[in-house]
Structure 1
Amino acid sequence: MVIKWLHRLLTIVLALMVGGFLLYQYYINGQPDDSLAFKKQVSGDVWLYVTKYNGGGATVSDVYRYYLDGPIADDSQVMKAISERQPFLVSDTDSATVTGYASTVNIRLNGRVYSYTNSDVFYVNGVAILPVININAYGTH
């Protein structure tokens, strides 16, 4: 009788631990509360999409996420299209100067860079685009 109750208790504790872990993973890896700040054609089939974090408040600095992707005609579909992607740049400014030629993207910004990677890949009409991303970042004074 005691073994049955201990087994049930252990099963409940383990189920709560697994449920808590899954909830934690969902919360940590969930989609950020972003909205589309603007989009810009960089070159040919390379487009820049910048999102702004809507959470926080007066004590949280602005966070902008920069994504590269192909042309997305409908603005309402942009957030859905980039929701599975990771930004190549996260910064506190949306005033970066972004230019490009073919699959080379050049970025110049004044502000904080929270994260950056110079590699990205996306598909346009089934063709993989691997842009070369160059950055010149100048911190704030």
Structure 2
Amino acid sequence: MRARTVINAAHWLLTVLLAIFAWLSYQPDPRAGDTLQSVRQVAPGTWLYTTQNSEGGATVPTVYRYYLRNADGASVQQLYGDFPFLTGSGTLAAIAVDGDTVRVDYSGKVYSIEQHTGRYFLTYSLR
């Protein structure tokens, strides 16, 4: 009787662990629907990439992701390897590079924000 109880408990534990593993490994990438909106040079050798994701439909706002890269010509798939310094549903009003500091003026809702990206330290003016 005890052996059967142990086997049943091990079976349920294994089933729960496999279900958790399957759920964690099947999380879709939120950036999968991103499209490249714009690329512009903000300083010599520094490029600002903006991606847009509007797959949420009428009830989910359009999400913009902003990346800084040291090279022009990156695709959206190459940006997946980078981490956006700013993610939100607003607009980037201005961006200026001064040495290793980048000043960003942004208005709108912010979903995530970073203080460092690559070799740059970021300062923000949020509205």
TM-score tier, shorter chain, comes to: 0.7 to 0.9
Determine the structure 1 residue equivalent to 2:25: 26
TM-score between both structures, scaled by the size of structure 2: 0.77
What is the rounded CA distance, in whole Å, between the counterparts of 2:120 and 2:28 in structure 1? 26
Unmatched segments (≥5 aa) in structure 1: 122-129
| Contact preservation (8 Å) 2:92, 2:105 | no
Higher relative contact order (CA 8 A, sep 6+): 1
* Identical counterparts, % of pairs: 25
Q: Where does residue 52 of structure 2 map in the other structure?
A: 52
Residues 95 and 104, structure 2, Cα contact 8 Å, conserved in 1? yes
* Equivalent pair of 1:109/1:136 in contact (CA under 8 Å): yes
Separation of aligned partners in 1, 2:76 and 2:12: 38
1:84 alignment partner, SS class: coil
Q: CA deviation at 1:4?
A: 5.9
Instruction: Work out whether 1:112 is the aligned partner of 2:101.
Output: no
Output the TM-score relative to the length of structure 1. Answer: 0.71
Root-mean-square deviation (CA, aligned residues, Å) is: 2.6
Q: Which runs of 5+ in 2 are unaligned?
A: none
